Structure 1
């Protein structure tokens, strides 16, 4: 306190708490900042994992304490934030008037169900999801998109992408500079994408088996029909990657080997350590969700969005609120932020099965998960495997994603860790000045490293992970390419397109 009263500057390390402005070095605000930082440090040391990770009750206590800490930050209040006070004085309170207008506008949008301000600048099919393509198949759960080739010749093996159904597929086809789909087709790959229907009350009884059959299996059958006698590069993102692993194992157990390779992006197969998301997944929480879903038949996207926001409340709740309602500054939305506001619903049955069977009981990793009555054994996966984790992932922590190595038996296995989180880490663009990654490949099915050993063994590399993965795809594709026109003609002979991409389901 004496150092604060003397005007001593804050020690380094307080920037992430929001105290990086010089105004926080002035009494009494430096005292507020020091007191808060000491309190936060004590709490973190008292309940920091791994102790919390091994005790669910302690983990929930730690999470609740962090929420209270982040809510109580002096940076969140006008009276205790010198930056806000200085701005309010300089603008004669106009920032607060703008903030009130922003709050009223947001409240009106929330009541009417409208999307956040600024998201209208990113309309699906105009600013995002604009890579040319066709809807080549549709059933009650999915549309299958086939993208037009952008090169004279294409690789023989098509790429089939299975995104998560808790998000709209176009996170992988944002604006052209951030579109993984466009990047792949410009590199000569034939890309197919599953676009999930946004379910309603009539879809309440759709379960995991339906997402496998109507989703992945139907899509794969169409790809194999349109590009016959070729293996497929299958890619799965988030829960879409979990679904891909289940489907690939089921096919392998049946003696079918349709895959040239498998790529899992931020996808868990062992849910024994799912990170902070586990605080929301308890028997009592699931019972409460089931009671809510019983009436509507679905889990609304706002409920899932709120849970994800709580995982990073400082960045996703408090800082945006301070900026918009006290500074009076509207953030300039980018394509990823606009996509994040375009949520989807989850069918009652599927969501309950997903949480109970995968998260609570961890059936997939234990070899107890069944498809059509048959147990799924992930050790049957022998295809070349490329797995991507992200450093700051709060949804699928990279150490949890890493566990797939112990469950599978691929003799051609690569694990890549990229900077960024669950969404921004995957959507990095081919050229990103602030991205880095690490990558290590095993050429046998038995070698194992702990996550910490892997981290020490894989040197950091600058740049996006996209080029490294595309080179890997190229190495696992047939060397001889085929004319893009021949593929287009063959596909056209097989089936007429239903409509242009991005299709209808993504707009639901």
Structure 2
């Protein structure tokens, strides 16, 4: 029997320990967090001037707050001591303006303000470590918010009194049901009214190609004439594709088909342990390139509008760069939704990206061969802790409200896994080393450059994006040597993209930059472009039509003679993989 070499045994032991440990740390590296706090603590202790300022700031602020608190007990019109940050809705209700709740709320905001001051601006602390410490301080302080406790939340008290305590009883029932679902691991019954293929992902179409990694869906035409060039949509494989084909009223796929476009969609396989060695090259070759080849046989002699969403947009950018490098002219245009190509300012997700954290995450993935849904959800949940944790606790457990599920929430609960090799390469090469923007990302045996892309680009960013901040997405204007139409729309990473015509309170700004134009700083761009009410889908559809070569009769679904027969109805089989 062959024995494992000693170094491999030691390495395996370390990985097993880290993998088991990671289940209890939400995938966060204890070493990474410790390094950040030690950096902050040592430099703070070695900065007597800053310590003196912190002490003076504490005494001055809290002395003034004490005087304000005494006045607040008798003056209901007293102005707030601290104005909450934009977007902080925790204390927006009028009940928080009454004594003593106004003092509780203002005291908490003062505490937040002081800890932000204490964890930032320390001379010598690395920027990354400062961000980690400041973020961690906010997370711990969120636990102490008076909104989270029945005795200090006036809305909870008022509802309990009005319902004779029934709201608290219902909240306890909601809590027990959630505990039961988590212990049994069964499906969330809240999503039962939404079913894929029935009222989700239900635009008619056919699966016309399948390999180990993708199913390619071709949607049935609804118009007598269609634009000559078809559209290929590459969604992110971190979630199921049908965010772009939700309900009938907000399906981007249906909208495009009804506008006279031939639409193809990639539906990704949900990886298992046997897919652990699938890398970025597999997603490029078996995903985008195989799909393009199929489309070239189904719609021959026509170029393709390539569309990518989030991580799928980054992959589409890589594909377009590689094709431009190799003089492959099969693309007509490139459209990117909330897709980053330069990761130097990739937002608060960078809090979880450093060498220590990535090494730890690789050990966690090594255990199973993939990154599972719970481990991925941990980081996103922390980034939006109020929306995803505390607001739910308050509404469901303290106020006893029954959550109302919608199609976007049902899709969000239908997450997927990430293969070990691909996710490691993605985080290291793109997030950590920024290889794509730096011209170092290799496809095959040679690097690719975004500057080689010459087809027109339509790029969409969203104002409240916590995954791909719009200023990071905006950097594409500096990386490409072609015409870029940049759109900044209201909403977040998902809701800003699912922004169908008729959706209330939607707006966007749009501008065009050619290769000859001078650089406009990101913060200046919104000031120079008019805000328009409505959906950005409409100008995008017009843009696609303007970059098409006319109309033709709709192509057949699939092409059996060329080896691409219809393999079954949409939404296919991969979308049902758990």
1: CA distance between counterparts of 2:413 and 2:234?
20
Q: For residues 451-505 of structure 1, what are the alpha-carbon distances to aligned partners after superposition, in whole Å with 9 as ceiling and x for unaligned?
A: 02212211111111110111111111113x1122xx1277465432101000000
Asked if residue 478 in structure 1 is aligned to residue 549 in structure 2, the reply is yes
Compute the displacement of 1:442 (Å). Answer: 2.1
Asked if residue 427 in structure 1 is aligned to residue 491 in structure 2, the reply is no
Q: How does 1:43-442 map to 2 (within 5 A)?
A: 43-44=115-116, 55-410=127-482, 412-442=483-513
Compute the displacement of 1:44 (Å). Answer: 4.8
Q: For residues 269-321 of structure 1, what are the alpha-carbon distances to aligned partners after superposition, in whole Å with 9 as ceiling and x for unaligned?
A: 11011110011112111112111111211111111112111111111110011
1: CA distance between counterparts of 2:451 and 2:381?
35
Secondary structure of 1:106's counterpart equals: helix
1: CA distance between counterparts of 2:463 and 2:384?
14
Secondary structure of 2:524's counterpart equals: helix
- Contact persistence 1:7–1:27 (CA under 8 A): no
Q: For residues 188-239 of structure 1, what are the alpha-carbon distances to aligned partners after superposition, in whole Å with 9 as ceiling and x for unaligned?
A: 0000000000000110110111111111111111111111111100000001
In structure 2, the gaps of 5 or more residues are 1-68
Relative to structure 1, the CA distance from residue 121 to residue 96 in structure 2 (aligned partners, 3 Å threshold; closer, same or farther) is: same
Residue-pair matches, total = 503
TM-score of the superposition, structure 2-length normalised?
A: 0.84
- Contact persistence 1:184–1:191 (CA under 8 A): yes
Q: For residues 30-55 of structure 1, what are the alpha-carbon distances to aligned partners after superposition, in whole Å with 9 as ceiling and x for unaligned?
A: 11011112223444566679x99981
1: CA distance between counterparts of 2:320 and 2:128?
32
Relative to structure 1, the CA distance from residue 289 to residue 85 in structure 2 (aligned partners, 3 Å threshold; closer, same or farther) is: same
**Larger Rg belongs to:** 2
1: CA distance between counterparts of 2:118 and 2:511?
35
Q: Which residue of 2 is the match for residue 6 of structure 1?
A: 74
What is the aligned-residue RMSD (CA, Å)?
2.0
> Which one of the candidate residues 489, 492, 497 is aligned to 2:566?
497
Secondary structure of 2:198's counterpart equals: coil
TM-score of the superposition, structure 1-length normalised?
A: 0.95
Q: For residues 332-372 of structure 1, what are the alpha-carbon distances to aligned partners after superposition, in whole Å with 9 as ceiling and x for unaligned?
A: 11100110000100001111111111111111111111111
- Contact persistence 1:130–1:173 (CA under 8 A): yes
Secondary structure of 1:143's counterpart equals: strand
Secondary structure of 2:207's counterpart equals: strand
- Contact persistence 1:392–1:421 (CA under 8 A): yes
2: CA distance between counterparts of 1:268 and 1:397?
9
